[in-house]
Amino acid sequence: MTTEKQNAKEHELHDRRARLLGPAYRLFYDRPLHLVRGEGVWLYDCEGRAYLDVYNNVPHVGHCHPHVVEALARQAATLNTHTRYLHETVLDLAERLTAMLPRELDTCMFACTGSEANELAVRIARSYTGGEGFIVTEHAYHGNTNTVVTLSPVHEYVARDASVQLVPAPDGYRGRYRFGTPDLGRQYASHVDEALNALDQHGVKPAALIVDTIFSSDGIYTETADYLRLAVDKVRSAGGVFIADEVQPGFGRTGERMWGFERHGVVPDIVTMGKPMGNGHPLSAVVTTRAIIEKFAERARYFNTFGGNPVSCAAGLAVLEVMESEKLQDNARNVGAHLKQKLELQLSKHEIIGDVRGQGLYIGLELVSDRKTREPASREASAVVNGLRDRGVLTGTTGRDGNVLKLRPPLVFSTENADQLIDALDATLCDVLS
């Protein structure tokens, strides 16, 4: 296709999309991408141009991994029903997942999306504690359903009442308390006391603290390890539970550990997981303790038409098989360390990079217009994302000011891919800053 024809086709798709899907949807990039194929860490547009995927965590073991595709196709060709009949796959997956978690987290319930899993976790927490109060970080995202949007202050337009209290995420770089402050974790955790007091003043009993254990939409914070342990102790003392939202860091992405919460030395009461679990197939889960689920089941029944169906569970099992056979958690650790080291060299070269942080293959690069004042370089961050796109590398931004470059590729990302990213980033930063 000539470039002119290509542009016309993209315009046509754009218009059709706006007409059919309406204005609430958003596209990435100044020049939106029309993707037609994926393989491993690569995405291809309709002209066959390859893009290095440094953004998508859903294709956890790589786009269109043949083992996952084959498992999906085989099960789809055999049987797909729901969880009201006996079937092995849902049990095999529950067995595998509980074996990957601390012993007390022994019971699994399945859903299709992270939002659904969090919604269910919220219901379970309410029934177990008798409370209605929730504590979340100031710029958290936990999903798009009615209850969960109120627990997602990233949606600034959504009204919240006093039953939802916000606490700052432990941002030691640009937050209220910075690295070098004594007892940094304790300082941040003191806001959980304030939140509990505020709930108390409004006569609301706490139900749960819910935290994305890598604070991805807050801005990716991995360095204040004792914060969460202290915060969880406080919530438990007040009668609430801790829900670890593992939708982002779970399944080995952080390299050293399988789950984000493990880095914080806490065992959650409830864990939710989603996104990478089905490698693109909608699959999510809530894992909790027997005592918590027994309390919930005293009154509630749970059925989710699609959650836990044999095809979804076959995909989930296949993802775990690939993770194991290709040693992807080790890869996340090794390639993540290599990438971080290379990014630190970029930090010494480019004044605009204020901070490099993260774990494994979940890395944040904070761009600032002034290293002293740490003024967020939001406009430049957007220019970098677009510049990288034009160089064939896909990334995004996160954080309240949209100035943190989010690097979160499929776990099959290699050191060679990391070097490709670094070359493109270096050239783009030179361009944007020239």
Minimum distance from residue 371 beta carbon to ligand PMP (Å):
29
Q: Which is nearer to ligand PMP, 177 or 259 (CB)?
A: 259
Q: Which is nearer to ligand PMP, 141 or 251 (CB)?
A: 141
Q: Where does this chain bind ligand PMP (CB under 6 A)?
A: 113-115, 118, 141-144, 212, 216, 245, 247-248, 274-275
Minimum distance from residue 114 beta carbon to ligand PMP (Å):
2
Please give the Cα distance from 236 to 67 (Å, whole number): 42
Maximum C-alpha span of the chain: 66
Question: Of 137, 145, 201, whose CA–CA distance to 165 is shortest?
Answer: 137
Residue with tokens 């914060």: 227
Question: Which two structure tokens, joined as six digits, stand for 5?
Answer: 């024809």
Long-range contacts of 233-237 (CB under 8 A, 24+ apart): 234/189, 234/192, 234/193, 234/196, 235/135, 235/192, 235/196, 235/206, 235/208, 235/209
Q: Which is nearer to ligand PMP, 148 or 189 (CB)?
A: 148
Minimum distance from residue 275 beta carbon to ligand PMP (Å):
6
Minimum distance from residue 116 beta carbon to ligand PMP (Å):
7
Q: Which is nearer to ligand PMP, 140 or 367 (CB)?
A: 140
Positive or negative: CA dihedral 123, 126, 128, 130:
negative
Long-range contacts of 86-90 (CB under 8 A, 24+ apart): 87/310, 89/310, 89/313, 89/314, 89/317, 90/308, 90/309, 90/310, 90/313
Minimum distance from residue 390 beta carbon to ligand PMP (Å):
25
Minimum distance from residue 4 beta carbon to ligand PMP (Å):
37
Minimum distance from residue 287 beta carbon to ligand PMP (Å):
15
Q: φ and ψ at 175, to 5 degrees?
A: -85, -170
Q: Which is nearer to ligand PMP, 58 or 337 (CB)?
A: 58
Q: Which is nearer to ligand PMP, 135 or 247 (CB)?
A: 247
Query: Is the distance from CB of 95 to CB of 319 less than 8 angstroms?
Result: no
Per-residue CA distances from 353 to 327, 344, 389, 419 (Å): 32, 9, 19, 18
DSSP string, 292-352: HHHHHHHH-----SSTT-HHHHHHHHHHHHHHHHTTHHHHHHHHHHHHHHHHHHHHHH-TT
Q: Which is nearer to ligand PMP, 127 or 248 (CB)?
A: 248
> For residue 184, how far is the Cα from the chain centroid?
24
Q: Which is nearer to ligand PMP, 142 or 389 (CB)?
A: 142
Residue nearest to ligand PMP (CB): 114
Minimum distance from residue 276 beta carbon to ligand PMP (Å):
10
